[in-house]
Amino acid sequence: MKFMLKPTPHWLLLIALMSGHAVWAESVVWSCSRSEAHPEVFEKLRAYRLEDLSAKDDEGIVITLSDLYSAYGGQTIRMGRSDLTVCTLPSNDPIQTIAMDLLGYNTKDVEAAAQLATAKLVLVPTIHRMQKCIVENHPAIGFFENVVENERVGPCF
């Protein structure tokens, strides 16, 4: 007895692709600041010795999901001798909405958190200025639509 697979209907494949795209499209990459690179890192870059290069900097901040949730909720998170800065977009920005939905927050929650004396939220006018906010306010967190990784910013998780 021969067993043959029946072709999958095109509409079923289309639905599977669309649902996968929706999940992918509605996510952000949580990003953390890194300390300034040490001079020896630049020497390695100039030497083009691939075995010596590393995408990760040992001086990057380390946060937990609980820290992330608490920081966007307006609580102070201590990072050594400094407070963690939270870079955030205007509440009506679609990427901001997606990011806050992932944390379980809504627009009113974030606006209320921004009013707290303990909050260290920095409003960034556009996603294009997010990296500048993260770099200038080290230690800091923020988010992007795609992975941004360089000597000053990298994925938190």
Residue 92 has pLDDT above 80, yes or no: yes
Average pLDDT, the chain: 79
pLDDT of residue 127: 94
pLDDT bracket for residue 61 (50, 70, 90): confident
Tell me the C-alpha distance between 29 and 17, whole Å.
21
Q: Mean pLDDT throughout 35-45?
A: 57
pLDDT at 104 over 60: yes
CB 97 within 8 Å of CB 107: yes
% of the chain exceeding 70 in pLDDT: 68
Angle CA(71)–CA(138)–CA(124) in degrees, nearest 5? 65
Lowest mean pLDDT across 18-27, 75-84, 116-125, 133-142: 18-27
This model's pTM is above 0.75: no
pLDDT of residue 20 exceeding 90, the answer is no
